[in-house]
Structure 1
Amino acid sequence: MNRPGPRIDETPLQHLAARYGVAAALASSRAVLERTVAIGDGFTLAEWWNEHDTTGYHAPGHHTLSLYLEGGEGTRRIGFPGRIGGPGRFCLLPAEHESHWVLTRPMRFLHFYFDRGALAAAGAAAHDADIRETTLPDDTFFDDPDAARLMAGLIRLDWGDAASRLAATQTGHELLAHLAGRRLRRRPSPALDGGLAPHIRRRVLELVEAALDEPLTLGRLAAAAGQSEFHFARMFRASVGLPPHAYVLARRLDRARRLLAGSDRPLAEIAAACGFTHPSHLTRHFRAAFGGPPGAWRAAVRG
């Protein structure tokens, strides 16, 4: 395994460390950041190299999916005897987890960072559960062929190319949906404070999915729940993990992504099907979320 040269320009390293607790811990260790890119919608990739080191993470505040690219056989997580790393193996590190590591051999690894809000939107769509009743488990040195396929696609992309970053955003959403569907676990709690009752939450989320092409005001959603707008907004955020407007926008953009990738429908038609009043309205939100306009994103994904 080739050892990398000096650290890259400190600016991206400092920016990464300021945003992500796991990156901050690695920045203060012997680890070398080889490349990093923010790919849109709260997703960031970082490729690291390290050897002969000790490091640890304490409640980093964001989720991390780690894939070992090279080496890792000499990496141990303290308190997990018998578990051995290696190329192609994953670690899943939730926002609230704590872990300590010893590295005795060189290794290269890829980190996929994503925040709680992104997981909340994917989790609410994938599970009929209050977001407080779901948890992302801490897991060390496991195999996941589907996640490996998606991560391989991210590795192959040219991170410096704008079109590649747009394609990476699509892959990031596929990866997040995979994690939400396969990795999130239910943890029913009889003592939840506030939030929407299960049947009301289900009714509201079904309304959102069925009426994405229609006006979905806070008043309409609150009426479906039989609550005042103020009370509903608080209870919805407690149960889903996002404010109502942010959740609706996330679902609209998710439908737009799928229609752009899977059809040749014109942008005006897709905008209307997703509840945007005008193509420029969709373009503005799409660019803000994914880093580029819908047309460029469609070309990047299909290319």
Structure 2
Amino acid sequence: MESLFTALPLLATQGFCWHGAYVDCRWEPPGAIEEEVSTPWHSVVLFTQFAGSDPALAERSIDGRFKVERVHPGDILVLPAGVGQRSRWNVPGEFMNLVFETAALGRSLDEAADDTTFELMPHFATQDLLVLQLGLALRRVLQGGGDRLYAESLITALAVHLLQTYATRRPEIKTYGGGLARPQLERVVDYIHSHLDAPLSLETLAALAGMSAHYFAQLFKQSTGVAPHQYVIRCRVERAKALLAQPHLAIADIAYRVGFAHQSHLNRHFKRLVGTTPGQWRQAIRS
């Protein structure tokens, strides 16, 4: 993965995944990018933390425009595909790269979108608290072992926000009511229950309903009262409850069988939804 920075990432996805997105987190020392660089992808650089209490001071050139700017946690840079940039910064700090394949932004709204449908405008350091919130949530997913469905939900929300806020042409965001049609909902729910042990993808579920990820998530929540990733977690916990009645199954094995990344992942969601740990639940049903 080409990078706009010099340090190796502390956390990163394995290439482009999560609906055509790549995310990494890195801690950078003071430094500079002396030669102009660009990437074939849309990049959003999110500044999350700097050493000390003062903002960073950066000298930056983007698309031939030069600016000296103070950069605060929560600021972002928007660097469209093919746009060159050079920079110099004076303090160490933590950064996140939120990178999209060029066609991925449009696909969040329209499965037929291609890489010419939407174009981002370059931006120098701009405070964007929604991108900060979504970026930190994605970092927690990376730290916790990865929940693909939740990550794709966050990526979809981020893509729609970028299109609404930083695109040269704002998309028309339609609002639908009434939820999914019954055959659509039944098809998706049947697929979820048949594949709880596998990494479920928002893109796959949306394709089953015949729509984009953004509109699918919106209509699924109208139909069920919860977001797709929350629905899947509840289904996995219910399946785990049934398996806990089989005393020969280890709890770690049950976690994998119902699609959680590891036992602590199961423990966290089980306790949140049921009020006890899986081990406590097993003891209770035995007695």
TM-score (norm 1): 0.53
| Distance in structure 2 (CA, Å) of the matches to 1:252 and 1:132 | 17
| Distance in structure 2 (CA, Å) of the matches to 1:122 and 1:254 | 6
| Distance in structure 2 (CA, Å) of the matches to 1:177 and 1:109 | 22
Whether 1:152 aligns to 2:139 is: no
Q: Deviations over 1:185-237 (max 9, x none)?
A: 139xxxxxxxxxxxxxx9xxx9xxxxx97xxxxxxxxxxxxxxxxxxxxxxxx
Alpha-carbon spacing, 1:96–1:155, altered in 2? closer, same or farther (3 Å): same
Alpha-carbon spacing, 1:166–1:88, altered in 2? closer, same or farther (3 Å): same
| Distance in structure 2 (CA, Å) of the matches to 1:252 and 1:77 | 36
Give the corresponding residue for 2:98: 112
TM-superposed CA distance for 1:259, in Å, is 4.0
- Structure 2: give runs of 5+ residues left out of the alignment: 175-179, 182-205, 229-258, 261-265, 274-287
| Distance in structure 2 (CA, Å) of the matches to 1:64 and 1:107 | 18
Q: Which aligned segments of 4 or more residues in structure 1 are displaced greater than 6 angstroms?
A: 246-250
| Distance in structure 2 (CA, Å) of the matches to 1:250 and 1:115 | 22
RMSD: 4.6
Give the corresponding residue for 1:96: 82
Alpha-carbon spacing, 1:249–1:93, altered in 2? closer, same or farther (3 Å): farther
TM-superposed CA distance for 1:32, in Å, is 3.0
Alpha-carbon spacing, 1:37–1:133, altered in 2? closer, same or farther (3 Å): closer
Number of matched pairs: 204
TM-superposed CA distance for 1:254, in Å, is 4.2
Whether 1:70 aligns to 2:49 is: yes
Q: What does residue range 22-171 of structure 1 map to in structure 2 within 5 Å? A: 23=3, 25-26=4-5, 29=6, 31-38=7-14, 40-55=18-33, 58-71=37-50, 73-78=56-61, 79-122=65-108, 132=116, 134-163=118-147, 165-171=148-154
| Distance in structure 1 (CA, Å) of the matches to 2:125 and 2:84 | 16
Alpha-carbon spacing, 1:99–1:162, altered in 2? closer, same or farther (3 Å): closer
Give the corresponding residue for 2:263: none
| Distance in structure 1 (CA, Å) of the matches to 2:109 and 2:218 | 18
8 Å CA contact 1:75, 1:103 repeated in 2: yes
TM-superposed CA distance for 1:52, in Å, is 2.6
| One-letter amino acid matched to 2:79 | L
Alpha-carbon spacing, 1:43–1:250, altered in 2? closer, same or farther (3 Å): farther
| Distance in structure 1 (CA, Å) of the matches to 2:134 and 2:222 | 18
Q: Deviations over 1:4-24 (max 9, x none)?
A: xxxxxxxxxxxxx2xxx3x2x
| Distance in structure 1 (CA, Å) of the matches to 2:222 and 2:94 | 35
Moved more, 56-65 or 105-114: 56-65
| One-letter amino acid matched to 1:60 | T
| Distance in structure 2 (CA, Å) of the matches to 1:141 and 1:161 | 30
Alpha-carbon spacing, 1:94–1:119, altered in 2? closer, same or farther (3 Å): same
Q: Deviations over 1:254-292 (max 9, x none)?
A: 444334445438x9xxxxxxxxxxxxxxxxxxxxxxxxx
| Distance in structure 1 (CA, Å) of the matches to 2:161 and 2:101 | 15
| One-letter amino acid matched to 2:13 | V
TM-score (norm 2): 0.55
SS of equivalent to 2:156: helix
| One-letter amino acid matched to 1:154 | L
8 Å CA contact 1:73, 1:84 repeated in 2: yes
SS of equivalent to 2:9: strand
> Which one has a larger percent helix, Structure 1 or Structure 2?
1
Identity of aligned residues (%): 21
TM-superposed CA distance for 1:97, in Å, is 0.6
SS of equivalent to 2:12: strand
Give the corresponding residue for 2:254: none
SS of equivalent to 1:40: coil
